[in-house]
Amino acid sequence: MANELIFKNASELAGLLKSGEVSSVELTQAHIDRIESVGEAVHSFLHTSPASALATAREIDQRRSSGEKLHDLAGLPIAVKDNLTTLDAPTTAGSKMLEGWIPPYDATVVKRLRDAGMPILGKTNLDEFAMGSSTEFSAYGPSKNPWDLTRIPGGSGGGSSSVVASFQAPLALGSDTGGSIRFPASVTGTVGIKPTYGAVSRYGLIALASSLDQVGPVSRSVLDSAMLQDLIAGHDPHDSTSLPESLGSMTEAALKGSVKGMRIGVIRELNGEGFQAGVKQRFNESLEMLSKAGAEIVEVSCPSFEYSIAAYYLILPAEASSNLAKFDSVRFGLRVAPEGNPTIERVMAATREAGFGPEVKRRIILGTYALSSGAFDNFYGAAQKVRTLIQRDFDAAFAKADVLVSPCAPTTAFKLGEKISDPLAMYLNDIATIPANLAGVPGISVPIGLAPEDGLPVGIQFMAPARADARLYQVGAALEQLNEAAWGKRMMEFAPDLEAK
Amino acid sequence: MSSAKAELMKYEEALEKFEVVIGLEVHIELNTKTKMFCGCANVFGDEPNTNVCPICIGLPGSLPAVNRRAIESSISIGLALGCQIAPNGRFSRKNYFYPDLAKNFQTSQYDEPIAFEGEISVEVPSGKFFTVAIERAHMEEDAGKLTHIGGNTGRIQGAEYSLVDYNRAGVPLVEIVTKPIYGGGAEAPELAAAYVRLIREMVKGLGVSDARMERGNVRCDANVSIRPHGQEKLGTRTETKNVNSLRSIERAVRYEIQRQAAILAKGGTITQETRHWHEDRGATSSGRPKSDADDYRYFPEPDLVPVQPSAEWVEELRAKLPEQPAARRKRLQLDWGFSDLEFRDVVNAGLMDPIEETVAAGAKPQAARKWWTGEIARIANAEDKEVSELSISASDVVELANLVESGKINDRMAREVLTGVLAGEGRPGQIVTDRGLEMVSDDGALLAAIDAALAKQPDVLEKIREGKLQAAGAVIGAVMQAMKGTADAARVRELIIQRAAE
Amino acid sequence: MSEITPDLVRHLAGLARILVTDEEVTQLAQELGVIVDSVATISKAVEGDVPATSHPIAMANVMRDDVVEPSLTQEQALSGAPDSDQGRFRVAAILDEE
Ligand SMILES: [Mg+2]
Ligand SMILES: [Zn+2]
């Protein structure tokens, strides 16, 4: 019988830790036990660090008992996506290229977790270098959706979504380049946020596409994510694209929880047409709830969103082809030497052949093409211009609405293996999430119930203007309450029990 | 790669037949405290891979952050070159694989350099002035250092393996690119060297670089093409890489002119390629041809935001610009009272800085000139070194000149002292004592030697009395020999004349 | 019809330093062809005078002071290297140029 503590939200647990009702060691041990019992089935972790997590927990308990004033999240365990560098644990980005690599430095966000006294339970699975929407491209095998172990937990951050959805950790860090936090949240009934580009430092995040990547929280409630964003956000001199200014308190915004007078813009091009019927149904119900709660629902149009997938699948591979050039067998990572007396050029080529999986190679070569002298203008160059058009669409839409809304994904969780051999079909999962990355604006996915046809979670996405992340927490928390009232309990409580080992 | 010696046309003949066009790319290593994109120390000569961090060895997850001082230095260089400063500049990535390049791309400026469209006036040894148009000056980062092990002594060919030290990786560079330089004619090689010398002087004067060529602080790639006189279309150019002394620049350009002329005269064609200069052979050799593989796939560096220097910032830096090299030259020549010829020799030998320092430390300008352009330059030349590589300081030269001036030592002794200084024996005064070089200033000892010499040449005094003063020479020689060179010849002469008058 | 020929794939793989077998070349040419065709529509979207956006959030002049920060130790720097020697990263011989 699992310790009931693990089913609580992070914000409740933080309260219990603070009041001394629960010790960090007890809480951390409860999660370690849970990992022991369901970890293998869900396969969320690529590496676990129970000893170091407990060491942190003990230290925090000691400091708390000596009366030291601690961070609100002190003692609360967390899981970290394995594309964030950690001094004390291997960081692989889901690739054979980095098997066993222990970085000599902590990512800025990891350092913030440590500074706050959060025990790090382990590193979570992802599609190799975050390229994918299902974790099926992880070199270490896919993670499973806790709602149905034959289904995908979303990607690339399926390790972080499934770890939270299966109560192996109350919180996790993810990264979102085109939906890698939000899509997994949507298909696992969890909450995931991609903050405004630059709100959270990317230093120590193994880059996929530098101008799109953003680190963000994964949790089981909007307030939980707000608390985590408040911890990890803020200027970092090591990241030149990090915003100099504070975006305010997300926790306060989540606690406000009202939508009265808020203008919510339904994007005509992403209003659920062509989406799975149950997704569209839940989406429309949520719009009604928001309207009843005092929000004004308006329609906006973003005609250039039509080109967002095309632009994304040029910009991402282009930047990735350059970011991933450093994996060359010289300074770190895998080295594969071909037979005979090879030159360094041949060693590099053989290493990259062996170390990268098929999706990574596909995207590197596509990106190399998009940047090559003959193709640049029509591909990469045009994609950057599309980015401008998408930003203009957002500007126009935000003139009419405080936040924009769409279903987070076209479908609920699909079956493992269903789309793996069809890259284009896989890319379409991100149709609703990609525009936010292209424009740098923040987006949140909040669970809004289960699709009637398959009983699987559906997520709604809100987007706000750049730097207005607080609005997402406000509207997200409000809708979460409305849905909990309508469904009678928290969404995660509908999740089936996982068979304990 | 052929090791066969290329055919060369005689230089004069080549110039009769062809017009020479050159273009120069000079890389200046800035002397910032830290690297271009990280806080690692920018220092020379440390243990390998000790001035490195996740950023400059390109570890996954690391991100660059621009050094403000490097930007300021680059703007100052741009201004000193008479360039416009771009109100919106940015960094790009130049993508290619090479093990000295930690990220396998170089962060560099591409289509938006920080400075563009300038010009400077360059004086060649003949005294003629040329205006060199500057296309751009842009910022980039240096690569690491490769050492090739095994095979024939450090060469890349035949090496068994290579070692990489990234201490230098990420050191800030400013690359200054000229527009094609026409009209250099026979003086094109000298013009190339004079241009690089001027750039070196300029960046040193700005205080933005140590400008030591022997350490690679200033590196030059020389583009050379030739075309028949009257032909409009430019000839195919070659780019000779990393020619790292002023003398080599001159020689490399001359060599390329002669080599290309020989090929064209025979109806051959020039291959567009990079070439390498071999100081030992005095020749260039074929490097890598330009090809498809040169698709660098430049794109804006997404990890860095644009650099937009405000007009106020630029004007602030402009106001701080030191005297320009041409004005400085004028001023120094006037201060020192050198003739045009004397001064040109000083400039062409690259000795303005040490002489200025020496004069500032208390030497008379002519004495400073004499030592630097004379004995010191001779030794440097003989050892095939730059004067700056010799271990002698301005204050050593001042001390040496004072010793001669005060009659403590003579010129011959001074040369010996100089050898001692260069050998690291200490300061000149110390060496005089240690080597027992002081001149005999005791008249008694000198007179004894004079009398001994006169005894062997009794008719000398008579000749002097008859007014044949040159007769004293034979006695002076004998006295100097007897005193093993420690006598002051002038004093000996005086004493002999005194004796004759007695 | 796609412009992604097997030869182009081979060239791109060379630029990207990835060894590819003939089979992979054939497969990649086919897969990339489909993707490139599907994204080729975007050049239509941006006819006319549209500026490019390379950074989603417009910022400028982010600079750090020229102050030395601690470096890694040599041991740390080399800790992840597949091979090292004499304090340096060791690689196979380089023969393609110079
Ligand atoms: Mg360059
Ligand atoms: Zn560094």
Q: Do B61 and A319 touch (CB under 8 A)?
A: no
**Residue/partner pairs of B403-412 with CB below 8 Å, 24 or more apart:** B403/B428, B403/B429, B403/B432, B404/B367, B405/B364, B405/B367, B407/B439, B407/B441, B407/B488, B407/B491, B408/B432, B408/B438, B408/B439, B409/B437, B409/B438, B409/B439, B410/B439, B410/B485, B410/B488, B410/B489, B412/B485
Q: What digits encode the pLDDT tens for the residues A436-474? A: 999 999 999 999 999 999 999 999 999 999 999 999 999
| Structure tokens, A137 | 């491209």
State the Cα–Cα distance between residues B491 and B407, nearest whole angstrom. Answer: 10
Sign of the C-alpha dihedral computed for residues B291, B296, B297 and B300 taken in this order? negative
The rounded distance, in Å, linking the Cα atoms of B68 and B318 is 16
- Mean pLDDT, consecutive 10-residue segments, chain B of 502 residues? 73 96 97 98 96 98 98 98 95 96 96 95 91 97 93 71 97 98 95 96 94 92 96 94 90 97 95 91 84 82 97 96 86 92 87 92 92 91 83 91 85 87 89 79 79 82 81 82 77 82 77
With 0-12 / 13-18 / 19 or more C-beta atoms within 10 angstroms meaning exposed / middle / buried, residue B3 is exposed
Shortest-distance ligand to the CA of residue B169: 2
Residues 60-89 of B with CB under 8 A from A: 60-66
Q: Classify strands A263-267 and A296-300 as parallel, antiparallel or unpaired.
A: parallel
Pairing of strands A457-463, A443-450: antiparallel
Contacts of A255 by beta carbon, 8 Å cutoff, 6+ apart: A223, A477
Ligand number, closest to the Cα atom of B239: 1
pLDDT by residue (tens digit) across A247-259?
999 999 999 989 9
Distance, CA of B370 to CA of B29 (rounded, Å)? 32
Cβ distance of C90 and B163 shorter than 8 Å: yes
CATH topology of domain C6-45: Histone, subunit A (1.10.20)
Whole-number Cα distances in Å, A215 to A45, A80, A120, A218: 18, 11, 16, 10
Residue ranges and CATH numbers for the domains of chain B are 11-298 (no CATH), 332-426 (no CATH), 443-501 (1.10.10.410)
List residues, by chain if needed, whose CB lies under 5 Å from ion ligand 2.
B 38, 40, 53, 55-56
Alpha helices in C16-56 (DSSP H): 22-39, 42-45
What separation in Å is there between the alpha carbon of B62 and the centre of ligand 2? 10
φ, ψ of residue B36 in degrees (nearest 5) = -65, -40
- Stretch A81-86: mean pLDDT: 98
Residue C2 pLDDT grade (very low, low, confident, very high; cuts 50, 70, 90): low
Task: Give the pLDDT of residue C45.
Answer: 87
* DSSP SS3 for B212: coil
Chain A residues touching B297 at Cβ < 8 A: 321-322, 368, 371-373, 376
Using a CB cutoff of 5 Å, list residues around ligand 1, an ion.
B 175
- Inter-chain residue contact C93 with B162, CB threshold 8 Å: yes
Residue C97 has pLDDT above 50, yes or no: no
pLDDT at A332: 98
DSSP state letter for A135: S
Q: What's the complex ipTM?
A: 0.96
Distance (Å, whole) CA B259 – CA B222: 14
- Cα(A193)–Cα(A461) distance, rounded to whole angstroms? 9
Test B49 with C62 for CB contact under 8 angstroms.
no
Report the run of H or E that residue A255 belongs to, with start and end.
Answer: helix A250-256
A75: left (phi over 0), alpha (psi -120 to 50) or beta: left
Under a CB-based contact definition with an 8 Å cutoff, are residues B32 and B162 in contact? Answer: no
Domains in chain A, start-ordered, CATH in brackets? 4-255+441-496 (3.90.1300.10), 304-386 (no CATH)
Q: Tell how far the Cα of B40 is from the centroid of ligand 2, in angstroms.
A: 4
Average pLDDT, rounded, for chain A: 96
DSSP letter (8 states) at residue B389: G
Instruction: Considering every ligand atom shown, identify the ligand nearest to the alpha carbon of residue B67 and give its number.
Output: 2
User: And the tokens for C61?
Assistant: 């002049």
Q: Name the residue among B57, B71, B297 with its Cβ closest to that of C77.
A: B57
What is the number of residues in chain A?
Answer: 501
**Partner residue opposite A332 with nearest CB, options B59, B64, B104:** B59
Catalytic residues of A: 81, 156, 180
| CB pair distance less than 8 Å for A388 and C53 | yes
Burial B239-257 (b: 16+ CB within 10 A, else e): bbbebbbbebbbbbbbbbb
Nearest CA in chain A to B49: A331
Residue ranges of the alpha helices (H) in B320-393? 325-336, 340-348, 352-360, 365-371, 377-382
Q: Is residue A445 within 8 Å of residue A192, measured between CB atoms?
A: yes
CA-CA-CA-CA dihedral for B146, B151, B152, B157, to nearest 10: -60
- Measure Cα distances from A159 to A37, A93, B212 in Å: 16, 11, 54
Is there a contact between A192 and A218 (Cβ–Cβ < 8 Å)?
yes
DSSP 3-state of A175: strand
Q: Do B160 and C93 touch (CB under 8 A)?
A: yes
* Strand-strand pairing, B92-95 and B145-149: unpaired
Nearest C-alpha neighbor of A468 from the set A395, A370, A408: A395
pLDDT tier at C98, thresholds 50, 70, 90: very low
What is the pLDDT at residue B2? 45
Which chain B residue lies closest to C58 (C-alpha atoms)? Answer: B305
User: B58 CA to middle of ligand 2, Å?
Assistant: 9
What's the CA gap between A6 and A170, in Å, rounded? 7
Neighbouring chains to C with at least 3 Cβ pairs closer than 8 Å: A, B
